[in-house]
Amino acid sequence: MVRAVRAVRVVRAARVVRAARVVRAARVVRAARVVRAARAVRAARVVRAARVVRAGGPGGPGGPGVAGGRGIQGLETGPGGEGTPGQGAGEEGGPSADDHLLALLGDMLPTKVNPQAVYRSGLRVMDELTYEVAQNAPPNLWKAEKVVGHFLDILTEQGAAQLGVAALKRHDEDSFHHSVNVCILSLMIGSRLDLDRPLLTVLGVAALLHDIGKSRVPQDLLTKPAKLTREEEEVVRRHTIYGAHALRDFPDLLRLAMVVAFEHHANYNLSGYPQITLKKAPHLLTRIVQVADVSDAATSSRRGYRRPKRAAEVLRIILTEAGTLFDPVVARLAVGVLVDLYRRDQGSQTVQLPD
C-alpha cells in the first residue's frame, strides 16, 4: 500500500515537472516572439525615419533674443532679434516620441553627424528651454543633456574645427546663438583641462543655460537699442538670480548649473555681480563659462553704439585681465582655443565683450 502511494506521488511529481517545463518553454517562445516583433518595429521606425531624413524638412531656430546689462569694463550685451519659429516641443518634462526616435536613429545609423545640423538643433532646444522658463516651468534637462552629448561626440570624433568655427560666426540677430556658442567654447576649454565626460556634460549644460534667467527680464530692456540707465541695469542684472532659481531643482552634479547661472558675472576676484562673500573665487565651471561668455559676446555687435572688437583686442583683454577678472589658467587655455579657431576662420575679423 505504501509503495503504491509513493508510486502515485512520483507520477504526479513527474507530471508537475513536465508541465512546468512546458510552461517555461512556452514562455521562452512567447518572449522570443516579442523580441523579434520589437526588433521589427524598431527596424521599421529606422527605415521610415531615414526616409524622412533623406527627404528633408523645414525647421529652424527662433524666438526673441535676449541681452544683458553692464559688467566687465562697463560693456553690455546687445539685444537679440526674432527668428523663425521652430518645430514644436514634446510633452513637458520628458522626451517626446520624436525625441525617442531621433535617439534611436543616433544609436543605430552609422552616419557621420553633420556639425551644422547639430548646431541648429542646439538653437531649437535653446528656443524651447527659454520658452519653458519664461512660463515658470522647469527646463527640459533631457534635451539639454542630449544636445551637449552631441557636441561632445563631434568634438571627440571629428575634432573642433567645424563646430568651433561655427561658434565664431557673427550672428547679431539671435542671442540663442550666444548660448550655443558659449556652450561649445566652454566644452573646448574644458577639454583642454582634461575634465572627464560626466563633468564636461555638466559644464556644457551649465554653459548652455547660463543666461536662462534673462527669459524673465522685461523684453523692452533686453531689446533696448540705446544704453541702459542705472536703474535698468539693475533690473537686467537680476537675471543671474532668476537663472539660479530656475535651475535649482537639477539633480546631483547638474546642480552646478545653478551655481554657474548665479556666478557667471561675479569675476575671478569677485569684483562683479551679484556680490559673493562666502568664498574666495567662483566655481571652476563658472570661470570657464565666464571667459567663453566674454569671448563669444565679443564676436557680435548687438548694440549700435558700441564698436565691435577685433580678435587681437579680445585676446589681449583676456590675457591682461588674467588673474583679476579671469582665472589665469583658464584664460591661457581659452586664448589657445580662440587662436586656433581664428586661424581656421580667416573671415572672422572682429570680436565684443559681454555684460
pLDDT at residue 298 greater than cutoff 80: no
Alpha-helical (H) ranges within the chain are 2-55, 97-108, 115-134, 141-157, 161-168, 176-192, 197-208, 219-222, 230-237, 239-246, 256-263, 284-297, 311-320, 328-344
Q: Which domain holds residue 282?
A: 40-344
Q: Is residue 30 part of a domain?
A: no
The distance of Cα 61 from the centroid of its chain, to the nearest Å, equals: 14
In the predicted model, what is the mean pLDDT of residues 304-329?
A: 85
Mapped onto helix, strand or coil, the DSSP state of residue 350 is strand
| Per-residue pLDDT reduced to its tens digit, 7-21 | 656 556 667 556 666
Number of domains in the chain: 1
Upper half-sphere CA count for residue 271 (Cβ side, 13 Å): 13
Residue 4 resides in a domain:
no
Query: CB under 8 Å to 55, separation ≥6 — which residues?
Result: none
CA distance 174 to 323: 32
Cβ-based burial of 7 (10 A; exposed 0-12, middle 13-18, buried ≥19): exposed
- Does any domain span residue 60? yes
Report the CATH number that the domain containing residue 206 is assigned in CATH: 1.10.3210.10
CA dist 90 and 340 (Å) reads 38
d(CA 192, CA 196): 11
Q: Which carries the bigger pLDDT value, residue 165 or residue 204?
A: 204
Number of neighbouring beta carbons within 10 Å of residue 267: 23
- Over residues 167-178, mean pLDDT: 63
CA distance 249 to 206: 13
Domain assignment present for residue 12? The answer is no
Flag whether 7 is in a domain.
no
pLDDT band at 128 (very low <50, low <70, confident <90, very high): very high
Give the pLDDT of residue 101: 46
Task: Judge whether 211 and 243 are in contact, CB under 8 Å.
Answer: yes
> What's the pLDDT at 114?
78
Residue 24 lies in a domain: no
Convert the pLDDT of each residue in 185-218 to its tens digit.
999 999 999 999 999 999 999 999 999 999 999 8
Q: Which residue has the cell 539685444?
A: 79
Using a pLDDT cut of 70, give the percent of the chain over it: 58
The answer to whether residue 25 sits within a structural domain is no
Kindly state the DSSP code that residue 160 receives in the 8-state scheme. Answer: S
The whole-angstrom separation of Cα 148 and Cα 124 is 13
Q: Using alpha carbons, select from 272, 286, 296, 293 the residue that is nearest to residue 327.
A: 286
Lowest mean pLDDT among 59-63, 182-186, 233-237: 59-63
Q: Is 83 a domain residue?
A: yes
Among 45-54, 81-90, 187-196, 320-329, the range scoring the smallest mean pLDDT is 81-90
